[in-house]
Amino acid sequence: MPKQRKKRAPRVAVVAADFNASIVEAMLAAAASEVRAQGASLVGDPIRVHGSYETPLVASRLLARRDVDAVVVLGYIERGDTQHGEVMGHVVHAALVNLSIEHGKPVGLALIGPGATLEQAEQRKDPYARAAVGAALRALHAVVLTRSR
């Protein structure tokens, strides 16, 4: 009878945009809690960058690592008086999707906004962070299934 390999817990790295730190701190706590609840493990401490615009570069480096199975990106792009946040949000989202495809690893995205008010961000911080972890792990499971077929 062939020896079965022990199944390894998925390894998740987290990138957090510190702009609007009070929201992001709560998102970090929720994401870490969800990683543990789903039986996965965190790879090191979350890597913090200034704002959401800086997350794709760090996510790319993490996705290239052999000890990282998925990345979760956390941040809040608030509503402003100009279209800056909307443009940035589109660029960041597109970059992260492209990185996921390029590296063949999932990126769980918990960027609240663009255009969200502080009140909306307060309401969304926990569920968005938890959903990003869940989405990344579910996508990872699907990727693993497609490799074995």
- Residues recognised as catalytic: 84
Strand partners, 65: none
How many residues are recorded in the chain?
Answer: 149
| DSSP assignments along the chain, one per residue | -PPPPPPPPPEEEEEEE-TTHHHHHHHHHHHHHHHHHTT-EE-SSPEEESSGGGHHHHHHHHHTSTT-SEEEEEEEEE--SSSHHHHHHHHHHHHHHHHHHHHT--EEEEEEEEEE-HHHHHHHHHHHHHHHHHHHHHHHHHHHHHH--
